[in-house]
Amino acid sequence: MEGCNPILDPFLWDPRFRDATPLLSHRFRSIALGTPKLWNCLRVYIGRDDEHALLGTSPESFSRVLQRSGAVPLDLLFVCRRTCDEGRDVGDSRRISRLLFPHLPRLRSCDLFIESMTGALPLFDAFQFAEAPTLDRMAFRSAEEDAEWITDWLGHAESHPIFSGGTPNMSSLTIVGIILFPPTSPLPPLQAVTFLSITTGTPQYFPAEFRLLLSAMPTLIVLELMSPFVVRVEAFSTPNPRPLTLSDLTANNLIEEWTAPVLQSLCISRLCEGINDALQHINTTKYPLLESLVLGGRRFTLTSSFVHATDTLKHVSLMDISKKSADDLLRMVTPSPPYLWPDYNHCRLAPLARSIGLHFYSSEL
């Protein structure tokens, strides 16, 4: 099923997945028509409207697809839209969930787009008591309005985490618009984890169990946190994350005093007000393997203490940096003989295009 992994399709990463629905329908049109080579790429569309009625998933057509797929690994894309007929949505979802349940052990990837939690509840209920030993990648993506509802449901005392203990081979987990729920059993050997909130209002806080969650991921090598989440520095107690991506974070002490001995890549794409103070006091000697540094913000400033302590950096990108900081950094990285970042192997200074190991993007330059 090469080239048909729904999780890896770029347009699916857009949190505004409502706008991507026509693309989803077109992408999986051949499933409705019964194209054999796509029988193992299951598309479920709950809450269809008039525009997509012909491409919606009926329990009958879904049953035929499951039968034709044989025993091959399955890739599931489940889209649940909000409509005015929730009774029909729940009924369709319940029947499809019953059909899918016996086939969950051969599920390879699962991408859930949830705009209506009511319509998706039957599928979530089925997942709670299932095992998926071949599941490698899973993603939850919710609409902004239902993020808290889904979180509350997942954390309910009578509820159990999805695939609790039944995914020994899952290596990739994506959470969009949902605050991660605490695990009640050992986690699978995750290597790549992405948390992204699409809420535009008050920042959401990760639960207190987030620190314990990271410490329970000894195999984690890729961690992406995209905000507006507020994460405290003590959350990063695990020694293993290497590439790290942060965006729109609003905690002053997020990375101050944080030690990451195997961190190789650090990206903070949009620094918020207040985090600048933390950057002034960060000790880069605590990242002995750091090779790539990407920072961006609203004309943020950096001091020499932030960039002077590491001799392993090979790539630095600074976006919308203040002119003063750019001038200071230029003086630091162009000495003779070089005393800062001697191992640079590629870089570019924009817009001056000088090969000195830096990318600058500033409205002031």
By residue count, the chain amounts to 365
Q: Is residue 79 a contact partner of residue 48, using CB atoms and an 8 Å limit?
A: no
* pLDDT of res. 74: 84
Mean per-residue pLDDT, 17-25: 38
Q: How far apart are alpha carbons 316 and 359 in whole angstroms?
A: 6
- Of 53-62, 103-112, 228-237, 238-247, least confident by mean pLDDT is 228-237
Q: How far apart are alpha carbons 356 and 345 in whole angstroms?
A: 9
Q: Is residue 57 a contact partner of residue 43, using CB atoms and an 8 Å limit?
A: yes
- Of 109-118, 208-217, 353-362, least confident by mean pLDDT is 353-362
* pLDDT of res. 280: 53
Query: Pairing relation of β-strands 74-80 and 315-321?
Result: unpaired
- Name the average pLDDT for the chain: 58
Q: Looking at per-residue confidence, does 237 or 319 come out higher?
A: 319
Mean per-residue pLDDT, 65-84: 76
Confidence tier at 228 by pLDDT (50, 70, 90) = very low
Does this model's pTM top 0.75? no
* pLDDT of res. 149: 59
Confidence tier at 349 by pLDDT (50, 70, 90) = very low
Q: Looking at per-residue confidence, does 107 or 311 come out higher?
A: 107
Q: How far apart are alpha carbons 47 and 50 in whole angstroms?
A: 10
* pLDDT of res. 356: 35
Q: Is residue 55 a contact partner of residue 48, using CB atoms and an 8 Å limit?
A: yes
Mean per-residue pLDDT, 322-347: 50
- Of 126-135, 252-261, 325-334, least confident by mean pLDDT is 252-261
Identify the helix (H) or strand (E) that includes residue 226. strand 222-226
pLDDT over threshold 60, residue 288: yes
pLDDT over threshold 70, residue 234: no
Tokens of 267: 């990206």
Nearest to 254 by CA among 310, 182, 309, 205: 205
pLDDT over threshold 80, residue 109: yes
Q: Looking at per-residue confidence, does 269 or 264 come out higher?
A: 264
Q: Looking at per-residue confidence, does 267 or 141 come out higher?
A: 141
Percent of the chain as helix, strand, coil, to the nearest 5: 30, 20, 45
